[in-house]
Amino acid sequence: MNVKKFTAATSRDALRKVREALGPDAVILSNRPVDGIVEILALANDDVASMASPSAESGMDAPRPSLQHLEPVHAAPVAPAMAPAPQSYANRRAPQPQQSQTEPAFDMAAMTSMMTAAIAQAKDSAASEMSGMMSEIRAMRGQMETQLAELSWGATQQREPQKATMLRDLLAAGFSITLARYLVDKMPAGKDSAEAMRWVKTVLARNLTTMADEDEMLNKGGVFALVGPTGVGKTTTTAKLAARCVMRHGPEKLALITTDAYRIGGHEQLRIYGKILGVMVHSVKDEADLRIALKELRNKHTVLIDTVGVSQRDQMVTQQVAMLSETGADVKRLLCLNATSTNETLNEVVRAYQGSGLAGCIMTKLDEAASIGNVLDVVIRQKLNLYYISTGQRVPEDLHLADRAMLVDRAFRSGRAAGSELTDADLPLLMAGMNRNKQGEVSLG
């Protein structure tokens, strides 16, 4: 193999020299400016061809650097357009030429490209190592937080066992971990279990807002819409409320509206109740209809709107909220909360139906609920005004005013929810888990 060096003032001149000496098929090994002139290292095409069978020329022991490392033409700062004819590039892919010991520039080029490749590889592996380390650190941090929380709860259990008992009772009653923990954290130390229970019940009852005065509500009247997911008892509760209004003011002062115009027989249920009570039932199908109906009925003392049930996960909820808010009348929305639903579902329901603000809520199906801490929790934390509770299907008997102390008492009497199977050993774990996926904040008075 015979690597030759050519120098000239310009690349064009240097290439011309290469062509003259080695022919048009010469292979350019490097092309770079050196001290203001251009230096080209080139190989005759015949030499490259002979390298295809290196043993014939240089023997088996000769070192064979890969030709890929010897491709400085593109890397060189001189324009590649100046390189020779394309067929010669193909030849540069011929396997393993012998390295010339007499040409130091040859080694430099190989070294440079090897170093560039090595640096790029090192950068890649450093980046992936770093991200691996970061996720390990995160995992370790999570574990440490969990263990610290476990330890801290373990210590609390030892130091103040009545706090742990109280926590278990709250969870057993169906209250959320967030609220249970908040209460236990705030509970003054040194109470025995009876005192602790009294304290918790007092705080819960104090933070449960109920309709201040039914007489005032019934006497004042207005437009009320019962809203909520499907089957929670809106129509039944509307009928119960209608009966209460009729008993107070007679049937003429009341009007009933149903927005259930498209389900087969949708409005029939309310119509039957209306017939029994002697109250007209109006059926509306859209916002325009509702506007007209409310305008016509503006002389009524009370108007009750029974809405069609919409899942809290349905986009229709937003439309319904808008429909009721833009009627021109002051429509107070009362959300029916099914006491048998889970805490998470009820929170979702409130969020979906909140809109620009709910006037209040009605707890339904309390008779069917195994524990009622879940629904009390939502009413307390979302600071909803609890108008009534519904305890059965009978119209009008099964609708009652909400008695705060009675409801809180009942929560602890019947409470056999998820927390009921918890043991002392489970509590630290539960608290630690909660630490990691922090739920909504609580603020009670």
Contacts 24+ apart (CB under 8 A), 58-64: 58/1, 58/98, 62/98, 63/98, 63/99, 64/96, 64/97, 64/98, 64/99
The yes or no reply on residue 367 touching ligand GTP (CB under 6 A) is yes
CB 427 within 8 A of CB 435: no
Partner in contact with 167, chosen from Mg ion, ligand GTP, none, beta carbon below 5 to 8 Å by kind:
none
Give the residue at shortest CB distance from Mg ion: 235
The yes or no reply on residue 396 touching ligand GTP (CB under 6 A) is no
The stretch near ligand GTP (CB under 6 A) out of 12-20, 163-171, 227-235, 288-296 is 227-235
The stretch near ligand GTP (CB under 6 A) out of 137-145, 154-162, 230-238, 421-429 is 230-238
CA 440 to chain centre: 13
Of 78, 81, 92, 115, the residue nearest 42 (C-alpha): 92
Partner in contact with 390, chosen from Mg ion, ligand GTP, none, beta carbon below 5 to 8 Å by kind:
ligand GTP
Of 388, 331, 382, the residue nearest 365 (C-alpha): 388
Give the residue at shortest CB distance from ligand GTP: 309
Residue 364 phi, psi (nearest 5)? -115, 160
Shortest Cβ distance from residue 281 to Mg ion (Å)?
Answer: 12
The yes or no reply on residue 393 touching ligand GTP (CB under 6 A) is yes
Contacts 24+ apart (CB under 8 A), 348-355: 348/312, 348/313, 349/228, 349/229, 349/312, 350/378, 350/382, 350/384, 351/312, 352/312, 352/313, 352/317, 353/227, 353/228, 353/312, 353/317, 353/321, 355/318, 355/321, 355/322, 355/325
The stretch near ligand GTP (CB under 6 A) out of 75-83, 105-113, 271-279, 364-372 is 364-372
Out of 232, 246, 277, 337, name the contact with ligand GTP by CB under 6 A.
232
The yes or no reply on residue 210 touching ligand GTP (CB under 6 A) is no
The yes or no reply on residue 309 touching ligand GTP (CB under 6 A) is yes
Do strands 209-210 and 37-43 pair parallel, antiparallel, or not at all (unpaired)? unpaired
Rounded to an integer, what distance in angstroms lies between the CA atom of residue 184 and that of residue 187?
5
The yes or no reply on residue 243 touching ligand GTP (CB under 6 A) is no
The yes or no reply on residue 394 touching ligand GTP (CB under 6 A) is no
The stretch near ligand GTP (CB under 6 A) out of 118-126, 142-150, 297-305, 388-396 is 388-396
- Judged by phi (left if over 0) then psi (alpha if -120 to 50, else beta), residue 328 lies in left
Sign of CA dihedral 179, 184, 186, 187: positive
CB 19 within 8 A of CB 31: no
Partner in contact with 168, chosen from Mg ion, ligand GTP, none, beta carbon below 5 to 8 Å by kind:
none
Shortest Cβ distance from residue 349 to Mg ion (Å)?
Answer: 16
Out of 162, 207, 210, 364, name the contact with ligand GTP by CB under 6 A.
364
The yes or no reply on residue 231 touching ligand GTP (CB under 6 A) is yes
- Site size for ligand GTP (CB under 6 A): 18
Rounded to an integer, what distance in angstroms lies between the CA atom of residue 347 and that of residue 116?
58
How many other CB atoms are there within 10 angstroms of residue 117's CB atom? 12
User: If 0-12 CB within 10 Å is exposed, 13-18 middle and 19+ buried, where does residue 256 land?
Assistant: buried
Shortest Cβ distance from residue 398 to ligand GTP (Å)?
Answer: 6
Starting at the edge strand found earlier in the chain, the sheet holding 37-43 runs 3-8, 37-43, 27-34
Task: Using the minimum distance from each CB to Mg ion, give the nearer residue, 228 or 419.
Answer: 228
The yes or no reply on residue 230 touching ligand GTP (CB under 6 A) is yes
The yes or no reply on residue 365 touching ligand GTP (CB under 6 A) is yes
Q: Kindly list the residues in this chain that would bind Mg ion in the complex (CB under 5 A).
A: 234-235
Out of 246, 390, 407, 432, name the contact with ligand GTP by CB under 6 A.
390
The stretch near ligand GTP (CB under 6 A) out of 106-114, 249-257, 361-369, 429-437 is 361-369
What letter does residue 62 receive in the DSSP assignment? S
Task: Using the minimum distance from each CB to ligand GTP, give the nearer residue, 204 or 308.
Answer: 308
The yes or no reply on residue 233 touching ligand GTP (CB under 6 A) is yes
Half-sphere exposure of 433 (CA within 13 A, CB side): 6
Out of 330, 368, 397, 421, name the contact with ligand GTP by CB under 6 A.
368
The yes or no reply on residue 234 touching ligand GTP (CB under 6 A) is yes
What letter does residue 367 receive in the DSSP assignment? G
Partner in contact with 45, chosen from Mg ion, ligand GTP, none, beta carbon below 5 to 8 Å by kind:
none
Out of 210, 236, 258, 259, name the contact with ligand GTP by CB under 6 A.
236
Partner in contact with 84, chosen from ligand GTP, Mg ion, none, beta carbon below 5 to 8 Å by kind:
none
Residues with Cβ within 8 Å of 37's Cβ and at least 6 positions away in sequence, in order, are 7, 8, 9
What letter does residue 99 receive in the DSSP assignment? P
The yes or no reply on residue 274 touching ligand GTP (CB under 6 A) is no
| Token pair 């009008």 in the structure block, residue | 396
CB 284 within 8 A of CB 257: yes
Shortest Cβ distance from residue 162 to Mg ion (Å)?
Answer: 46
Question: Which residues form the interface with ligand GTP (CB under 6 A)?
Answer: 230-236, 308-309, 364-365, 367-368, 390-393, 398
